[in-house]
Structure formats: structure tokens, C-alpha cells
């Protein structure tokens, strides 16, 4: 889900499993089942060892152990890869920033609700099904359950 005009930021309200995460601003929202968790989600959320080194240096920790930085980056990158038989999804607010301290911008859930705060938003499912998503409109994603383990999301508009 994102603003149709790539030069404009996406703005939306997000709830997951009943928790209100408030208004978020980003380049878009990615939601993945386990089947897609090692592809686009993984690439979008990926962190590299050099970034780990920069973070550690910024907080005053010597980050000269390249192997440890590689292991830490790998551990973080593996967090969102999960099995296609799991009945949950992972959401990731891409290149987002929280408008208030402590706002959650990623996580696992079984149900989420997204409310549009954009004039020209779009929702794209699996790279081929697209629908317009305008100011005030809401969609809900729910895990479908045991009978559909590979494609375990349902879109309710």
C-alpha cells in the first residue's frame, strides 16, 4: 500500500491485532505471509554489516569486529523469514518515521486495519491486483486460517 505518486509520502493509520499504532508517514506499507517473507519483505527490511558498524560507532561502541557485525546483521535479517505454513503475517512500514515516540512500525500479526490519509493511495496485492485507496477508506487484512496456509491473508475493503 502506498501513495500512487512516488514523489509523495504515504500517510495512513494502522491497527494490528487491536493495537492502534496511530498515524504513520512513509514510502509505503509491505505486508507479507510466510511464503513471501524471504523475497520483497526481506530485501526491503535488510540491514548490512556496515550499517551495524555505523550504529555501534554512533552510540560509542567500538565496532571493529567484522565477523560479529555480519552475524548480528544476519540475525536481524532472519527475524522476518517464517514458514509458509504459519498463520500470521508480518507488516513493515517502509522507510517510515514515527510521528510520536515509541510508535511501532513493524511486527507480526493475525489481523490489521489500515485507514487511508492520502488522496491518491493504492493497494496492490501480489504484484498484480490493484485498487485505489482514498482519504478515509479502510481495508482489513486477516489470516485465513488452516485451510489456506500458503496464501493466508484475506482483504476486506
Residues 71 and 111 in one domain: no
pLDDT in tens, 118-128: 999 999 887 77
Q: Which domain holds residue 70?
A: 38-81
What pLDDT score does 38 carry?
83
pLDDT in tens, 97-115: 666 666 788 999 999 999 9
Residue 136 has pLDDT above 90, yes or no: yes
- The total number of structural domains that make up the chain: 2
- pLDDT tens readout for residues 28-44: 999 998 888 888 888 88
User: Does residue 102 sit in the same domain as residue 138?
Assistant: yes
Asked whether residue 96 falls in the same domain as residue 138, the answer is: yes
* Grid cell for residue 110: 493475525
Bridge partners, 32 (sequence order): 90
- Beta-strand pair 153-156/138-143: antiparallel
- Strands in 121-125's sheet, in edge-to-edge order, are 2-3, 121-125, 129-133
The CATH number for 108's domain is 2.60.200.30
Q: Please tell me the distance from the alpha carbon of residue 109 to that of residue 19, in angstroms, as a whole number.
A: 10
pLDDT of 150 = 46
- In this model, does residue 92 exceed pLDDT 80? yes
Amino acid at each position: 500500500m502506498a501513495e500512487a505518486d512516488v514523489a509523495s509520502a504515504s500517510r495512513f493509520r494502522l491497527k494490528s491485532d487491536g493495537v492502534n499504532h496511530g498515524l504513520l508517514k512513509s514510502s509505503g506499507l509491505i505486508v507479507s505471509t510466510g511464503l513471501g517473507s524471504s523475497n520483497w519483505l526481506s530485501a526491503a527490511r535488510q540491514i548490512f554489516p556496515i550499517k551495524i558498524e555505523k550504529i555501534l560507532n554512533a552510540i560509542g561502541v567500538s565496532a571493529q569486529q567484522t565477523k560479529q557485525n555480519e552475524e548480528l546483521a544476519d540475525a536481524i535479517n532472519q527475524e522476518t523469514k517464517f514458514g509458509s505454513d504459519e498463520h500470521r503475517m508480518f507488516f513493515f512500514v517502509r522507510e517510515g518515521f514515527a510521528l510520536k515516540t515509541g510508535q511501532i512500525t513493524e511486527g507480526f500479526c493475525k489481523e490489521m486495519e489500515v485507514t487511508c490519509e492520502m488522496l491518491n493511495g493504492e493497494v496492490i496485492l501480489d504484484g498484480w491486483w490493484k485498487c485505489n485507496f482514498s482519504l478515509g477508506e479502510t481495508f482489513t487484512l486477516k489470516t485465513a486460517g488452516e485451510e489456506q496456509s500458503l496464501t493466508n491473508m484475506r482483504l476486506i475493503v
